[in-house]
Amino acid sequence: MSTRAFLRGGAALVASSALLTSGLSGPASGLSSTASGAGGAASTLRDRTPEPSPTATGSGGAVSSVDAEASRVGLQVLRHGGNAADAAVAMASALGVTEPYSAGIGGGGFFVYHDAKTREVSTIDGRETAPAGIEQDAFIDPATGEPYPFTPDLVSSGVAVGVPGTPATWEAALRDHGTWSLRKALAPSILLAAKGFRVDETFRSQTLDNAERFAAFPDTADLFLPGGDAPAVGSRFRNPDLAKTLSRLALLGPKGFYRGPVARDVARTVQRPPVAPDADLPAPAGSMTNKDLAGYRVERQAPTHSEYRGMDVYGMAPSSSGGIAVGEALNVLEGFELGSGAGLARSLHLYLEASAIAFADRAAYVGDVPDVPVETLLSQDFADSRACTIDPEQASERPVQAGALDGPGGGAGPGAAKGAACETMQHEEKPDTENVSTTHLSVVDRWGNAASYTLTIEQTGGSGITVPGRGFLLNNELTDFTAEYDPQDPNRIEPGKRPRSSMAPTIVLEDGEVRFVVGSPGGATIITTVLQVLLNRLDLGMSLPEAVAAPRASQRNTATTPAEPGFIEAYGTLLEPFGQELEPSGDAFTSQAEIGAAAAIERDAKGRLTAVAEPERRGGGTAYVVKPRKR
């Protein structure tokens, strides 16, 4: 396609995008309200989108995300005949516009899907990969012989950038499950990037938190720090370069990203990070090439599966550790009687202990390596043998040892008394750096199909490097590898490998039909957030809105447990007799003490839907249903 023809096609696509965005004329967008039906013909339908709310109940389909614009896009896709896959891709693309520090085409993610017709759950692994030229000592500073300081040196670098998987994930999701073309699904976000969105306090504060490193990269500074300051709250943020890049992807498909000028720009930027002359950042160069980009492929694999309280819990297999860790922790808790009231403190104690066990085994056995013992780690026998290490009245000494995969420590069965010592093996927990720069969306459509999709660019703002002229930030996902090479570490650096993730998009079925769709951002706290939301809902008597809003704690096999201030205030005294030590949670890039930002949907036996987003975390999310329940 010639440059002139492409520009004509791109301009036409941006213009026609308005015809696919019925209902985007809500308070926050200021966009056209003309729309197209499912067949694409223009119409003058006027859809009224409700005011943003963290909870919505009704029928006909539901969406939930951290962002009002993205949820509005998803709602309109469902209203105009799209299914859960169509809505998920459209929402994810919109999140890359309005949440550019959390997601976008410069990153990757994991997609879990339930097909209501076949009653099957499948997954797409769109995780970023290490380039073919990466070395085992890539994260070691040759000047000192020591690992680069994590922040800002390693985070803000080319060597930390993995080959993005998000564009390929969108194409795969639509090809496998969707009814819309990629061109149609991306139309709303193209218009959103071109016309802009209203800046809120969260966007401004995240920009200011990263202002110093953003300023080190001229293209990033020009886009996100115009005039040297973050965009003002209430102003309109436009990204015409991103609109053009998305238009190219929509017109040409994945080859518009993984081959040609965009791929060349990505590879050039990774190999020679464009650092300002006066910047005090080493920005180590990466080795990514055009060939690495052209060779990227998503992976389709069986989901993880466990059973809990008579329900089937599905999640992501490696390269994510989320499905295994959530499933193992639930299996450990299966044998305990949990509840609120007088048993609440003991239930929370057991939740923390089960989490520590799951993280110990995750560190020892899970990574993008051959023969991860998924079946053993998710077996009830193994969980029962791990549960025997828990003292129901006293916190364990941490770090907890990983369980042996054979013998008394693995698959010993439920016969051991609680509190007895099981045979274990020692394995040190490696740092997990995946941070709050991640987002999640949940969708259920009118037919009962469901999508649970977590996507990321790693840290808040990813690497901080914007691809010149393309309008998107590159990830720093390779920092999820262990910095120093250890041949026994399943998360060791290797060419073509995917770093271990904590993302845990989850779908729970009951009698073959969707009961819950849930996921969250938050690095390693993703696992405990998903686990705690399910525990709150299924065992502690909370409604789904209460389960999402409740204060959180995240035990990741450490001596003390990071917890939100509300959790410490509510439960700190209750947990003291169990020896559980809580400490205020925090984030390396912000002063926020929040843990996670869940987006969840519940479908009851009669098909009624409750969609829930965070009421306060990350500025509050938005949930919609197609047909709201009349009050």
Q: 203: which 2 tokens?
A: 């966007």
586 to 66, 259, 433, 561: CA distances (angstroms): 20, 40, 13, 12
Instruction: Specify whether the CB–CB gap between 316 and 110 falls below 8 A.
Output: yes
The CA distance from 407 to 53, in Å, is 52
Residues in CB range of 350: below 8 A, 6 or more apart: 333, 336, 338, 390, 392
Q: 452: which 2 tokens?
A: 């649970």
The CA distance from 96 to 94, in Å, is 5
Q: Dihedral sign for Cα 153, 155, 156, 162, please.
A: positive
Instruction: Specify whether the CB–CB gap between 332 and 326 falls below 8 A.
Output: no
Partners of 508 in beta bridges = 313, 516
Residues in CB range of 2: below 8 A, 6 or more apart: none
The CA distance from 316 to 110, in Å, is 7
Residues in CB range of 231: below 8 A, 6 or more apart: 199, 203, 204, 207, 224, 237
Coil vs helix vs strand at 503: coil
For residue 402, the tally of other CB atoms under 10 A from its CB is: 24
- The pairing of strands 582-584 and 561-563 is parallel
Q: 29: which 2 tokens?
A: 């967008």
Q: 490: which 2 tokens?
A: 């399943």
Phi, psi (deg, nearest 5) at residue 377: -60, -25
Q: 91: which 2 tokens?
A: 């929402």
Residues 140, 142, 144, 150, Cα dihedral to 10°: -30
Longest alpha-carbon distance in the chain: 74
The CA distance from 398 to 389, in Å, is 12
Catalytic positions, written as ranges: 438
Radius of gyration of the chain (CA): 23
First CA to last CA distance, the chain: 54
My answer on whether omega of the bond before 277 falls inside 30° of 0, hence cis, is no
